[in-house]
Structure 1
Amino acid sequence: MAVDDVLTVDKLAGEVGSTVTFPAVLVVDGDKVVSSKADLAKYEVTGEILGAVKGPKINIMHYRSKTGYKRRMGHRQPYTQVKITGIKAGK
């Protein structure tokens, strides 16, 4: 991920335009790779909430034979779109 990338993540609490902070999981800067927990604690990723979206529809069908029981259900997972505004490296 880089600055100005738009990510779709699981639903986050917050208003459109508010700022969210993510912990860094892996930092790759050219040939330098940072993956240790102590070094990653120095990095901070900030983003801005753009809005809420829904994932694709998933259809679920319950059926029991010989009884005439059929039930159709659907589900759409809620997601939040976030624009990365900054990646800060600590000391």
Structure 2
Amino acid sequence: MYAIVRSGGRQHKVAVGDIVEVDKISTAKVGDTVELSTLLVVDGDAVTSDPWVLDGIKVTAEIVDHHKGAKIDILRYKNKTGYRRRQGHRQQYTAIKVTGIPAAAK
């Protein structure tokens, strides 16, 4: 059984026990439980994609860690003018462990 969930503007395929990196959930602390909205649930041959049914299904996950991703270097340069700008960015992520995917009601 697996589900497609939405978190932080992205969609992730998850199953129970998976550890997934999502954009930082700033309101949650390590050990807290969060609920993710479900877009699709696949249970064997049964595929549930009806939004009316999926409104009641929330995937539960536990916060494992908050960390930063790899550094991205941003360089801007214009020739013949001496214009140079250097900037870096590290995206903040939250690692979550999926603890439960409820079955869709038939």
**Residue 34 of structure 1: aligned partner:** 48
Question: Any unmatched runs of 5+ in structure 1?
Answer: none
Larger Rg: 1
- Root-mean-square deviation (CA, aligned residues, Å) is 1.3
TM-score normalised by length of structure 1:
0.90
1:53 maps to 2:67: yes
Distance apart, 1:90 and its partner CA: 5.9
C-alpha distance in structure 2 between counterparts of 1:52 and 1:44, whole Å = 22
Structure 2: gaps (5+ residues): 1-13
Partners of 2:102 and 2:22 lie apart in 1 by: 20
C-alpha deviation, 1:62, in angstroms = 1.1
| Contact 1:51 1:80 (8 Å CA) reproduced | yes
Alignment deviations for residues 33-88 of structure 1 (CA, whole Å, 9 cap, x no partner): 00010111121211110111222221111112212121211111111000011112
Alignment match, 1:17: 31
The SS at the match of 2:101 is: strand
With normalisation by structure 2, the TM-score equals 0.79
The CA distance in 2 between the partners of 1:53 and 1:62, in whole Å, is 27
1:7 aligns with 2:12: no
Higher RCO structure, 1 or 2 (CA under 8 Å, sep 6+): 1
Calculate percent identity across the aligned residue pairs: 51
